[in-house]
Amino acid sequence: MDQQTGILINEKGILEKDGIYFAMTSPFSRENLFYPMFCADYTCDIPYHVSRRADSFNAFFLCFILDGEMRFEYRDTTFTANKNSVIFLNCKYSHTYTALRRTRFYWFHFGGPACAAYAEKLWNIHPGCFSDLPSFEVYFSQIHNIMRTNNVQEDLLSVAIHRILAQLATYHEPIRNMTDAVSAAKYYIEKNYMENISLDTLSEISSLSKYHLSREFRKSTGYSPHEYLINVRLEEAKRMLSSTADSVESIAFSCAFCSSANFIRTFRKKTGITPNKFRELVSSSG
């Protein structure tokens, strides 16, 4: 492997390819934007296989499966990606990907100051493969076509990459995979947010172990049960701040915060402003 670029020399199993196309990146883009390094459109078959050691390549990897099937090993997890799947890897972790049959896929390596944070955010939302996303083909095609023309438009490329990451951040598996147990836990939180809800209570309601419930809850919502509870309480507090003249202390009590100081601190952490400032902005906007 070329350690400078992370490209494997003499890769076996490639049947056709459009690329590899490279981008010259400005200092501004490296410091402020998402920027692609190189990309290609591959059609491959057995024995196509890529293996990288941990920290062997300082970059991030996105690919979109147009057709076929590939197996990935990443962060102690093995998963299979099929047609219309998106995979996002942080190359600081060791990883492999292998064609299981004839497969065509877009791929590109990229960087940017927010990449590592997005990699962790998306891993927590849905470890592994994001499936059933046919609309994402247009984003990968756009990036590939811009790179192929050698007329690199850094701002446009950054927007295209950010659009992929932002939409992955709202990803939910098809509703058939959202278990009734998680739905029951969510419903209980939304109806009883004023109570001191414990994970033990939610585990009993959902008939799942605490560990299993926490894992499935985060996969379905992007939040832990406790984080979801706090968000429900804050949404009710926002409603009260904008529609009543109740004091901050009264609202804190009504929304089950342990004290007004705790409420103010949590509100500021989540929104960036105090409850009084939020009320002032809402009142002035009317």
The residue ranges of every structural domain in the chain are 14-168, 176-285
Distance between CA 267 and CA 252 in Å, rounded?
A: 10
Confidence (pLDDT) at 215:
87
Decide: pTM greater than 0.75: no
Nearest-angstrom CA–CA distance, 183 and 58: 40
Q: The domain 14-168: what is its CATH number?
A: 2.60.120.280
The DSSP secondary structure of 115-151, one letter per residue, reads HHHHHHHHHHHSSSEE-S-GGGHHHHHHHHHHHHHT-
| CATH code of the region 176-285 | 1.10.10.60
Torsion of Cα atoms, 158 then 113 then 5 then 147, to 10°: 0
Domains 14-168 and 176-285 share a fold: no
CB-based burial, 79-100: b 16+ in 10 Å, e otherwise: eebebbbbbbbbbbeebebbbe
Cβ count within 10 A of residue 206: 23
The two three-digit tokens of residue 197, written as one number? 């809800």
For residue 177, the model assigns a pLDDT of 42
Q: What is the pLDDT of residue 172?
A: 61
User: For every residue of 95-114, which 3-state class applies, written as one string?
Assistant: EEEEECCCEEEEEEEEECCC
Give all strands of the β-sheet with 129-130 in edge-to-edge order.
14-22, 35-44, 103-111, 60-67, 86-90, 129-130
Q: What is the pLDDT of residue 256?
A: 93
Cis preceding-peptide flag for 46 (omega within 30 of 0): no
Task: State which amino acid sits at residue 128.
Answer: G
Q: What is the pLDDT along the chain (286 residues), one digit of tens a residue?
A: 343 455 555 678 999 999 899 988 999 999 999 999 999 999 999 999 999 999 888 899 999 999 999 999 999 899 999 999 999 999 999 999 999 999 999 999 999 999 999 999 999 878 888 988 988 999 999 999 999 987 778 999 999 999 999 999 887 654 334 467 888 899 899 989 998 899 999 988 888 888 888 988 888 888 899 999 999 999 999 999 999 999 999 999 999 999 999 999 999 999 999 999 999 888 775 5
What's the rounded Cα separation, in Å, for the pair 136 and 125? 18
